[in-house]
């Protein structure tokens, strides 16, 4: 990696917890000098998602070739034949710009990044008010059928159990409070006043 080695901010949570909203808010704060780490995935785009903005959409075959080539910092088969991962080249790209990296990433991936870069990663778990609220939020999105939503809810219970392994837990019961707390955490970690 280049001379600049920035901080890594990992935001993980079950789907529907609000981590993407928090990450987008933090990216809009210029004082933090953050750049979004675009994950790679083998799944098809959903809704308005854009290649090289929301994700690097790559074929299942190419994803598996990247795994064999050890091109990922972390990767996981989240659902059958549905892979997600962080390419090493993505973090290198952001650090080459002299920026800090922010991740909106699943729980297992977030913990792997923290393990690889323990000294310059702040791993934040975003906790939803309840599983019931999570289900309501996922249904409101209208991006997935009931079967997929139920899969996400089942996975959420397992993910919630990992929360203590993160550096900090933000309880997203009130979005305004959660956004303020996230700003404070990032500012403190960067040593800003």
Question: Would you write out the chain's pLDDT as a tens digit for each of its 193 residues?
Answer: 447 889 999 999 988 788 999 999 999 999 999 999 999 999 999 889 999 998 999 999 999 999 999 999 999 997 788 999 999 999 999 999 999 999 999 899 999 999 999 999 999 999 988 888 888 877 887 777 888 888 888 888 889 999 999 999 999 999 999 999 999 999 999 999 6
Whether the pTM exceeds 0.85: the reply is yes
Residue spans of the domains in the chain: they are: 8-185
DSSP code string of 73-119: EEEEEEETTEEEEEEHHHHHHHHHTT-EEEEE--HHHHHHHHHHSTT
Q: Could you say which architecture CATH assigns to the domain 8-185?
A: 3-Layer(aba) Sandwich (3.40)
């Amino acid at each position: 990696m280049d001379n600049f080695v920035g901080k890594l901010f990992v935001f993980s949570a079950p789907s529907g917890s609000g981590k993407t909203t928090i990450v987008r808010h933090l990216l809009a704060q210029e004082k933090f000098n953050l750049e979004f780490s675009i994950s790679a995935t083998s799944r098809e785009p959903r809704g308005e998602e854009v290649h090289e903005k929301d994700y690097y959409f790559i074929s299942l075959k190419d994803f598996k070739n990247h795994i064999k080539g050890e091109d990922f910092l972390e990767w996981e088969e989240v659902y059958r034949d549905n892979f997600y991962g962080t390419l090493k080249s993505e973090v290198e790209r952001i650090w080459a710009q002299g920026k800090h990296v922010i991740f909106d990433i699943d729980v297992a991936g977030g913990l792997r990044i923290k393990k690889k870069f323990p000294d310059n990663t702040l791993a934040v778990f975003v906790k939803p008010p309840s599983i019931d609220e999570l289900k309501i939020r996922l249904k409101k999105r209208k991006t997935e059928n009931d079967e997929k939503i139920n899969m996400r809810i089942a996975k959420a219970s397992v993910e919630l159990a990992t929360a203590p392994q993160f550096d900090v837990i933000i309880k997203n019961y009130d979005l305004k409070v959660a956004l303020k707390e996230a700003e404070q955490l990032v500012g403190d970690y960067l040593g800003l006043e």
